[in-house]
Amino acid sequence: MAKKKIRIRAKMKGDVAEVKTLMSHPMETGFRKNKKTGKKIPPHFIKEVICEHKGNKVLVASWGVAVSKNPYLSFKFKGAAKGDTITISWNDNTGESATADAKIS
């Protein structure tokens, strides 16, 4: 894959931290065919996304092929403060992975 990018935006809203994230990933189902060659495009998708705050896993997402290309994920959690770091990492079915972190604003 060309780019392994995770974009994170985390913001405090009252006592709740709202996290929004976008990952660059093809999320290939394995059902599609290459129209020119007629060959099947092998599946390539994110299996697991782990979101951590201060060493605690606040959210672990298990995904199948039905999650859209360049996945978007948003969630909310309590117990965070401005300036805290949130770490998000994913791994996919081909063994690739990526990690990124962001400060909560």
Partner 1 sequence: MKRRTFLKGTVASGMLSVAASAGLLTPRRVLAAWPETAFTAKSIDDALDTLLGDTTLATSGDIKIKAPEIAENGAVVPITISTGMAAESISVLIAKNPSPLACSFALGGSTLGFVSTRVKMGETSDLIAVVKSGGKLYSAKKTVKVTIGGCGG
Where on the chain is the footprint of partner 1 (CB under 8 A)?
Answer: 16, 29-33, 40, 43, 47-48, 56-69, 71-79, 91
49 and 75 Cβ atoms separated by less than 8 Å: no
Contacts of 78 (CB under 8 A, 6+ apart): 15, 16, 17
Which of residues 37 and 62 has its CB atom nearest to partner 1 in the complex?
62
Tokens for 95, please give them: 């063994």
Which of residues 5 and 57 has its CB atom nearest to partner 1 in the complex?
57
Residue 2 Cβ, how far from partner 1 at the closest point, in Å? 20
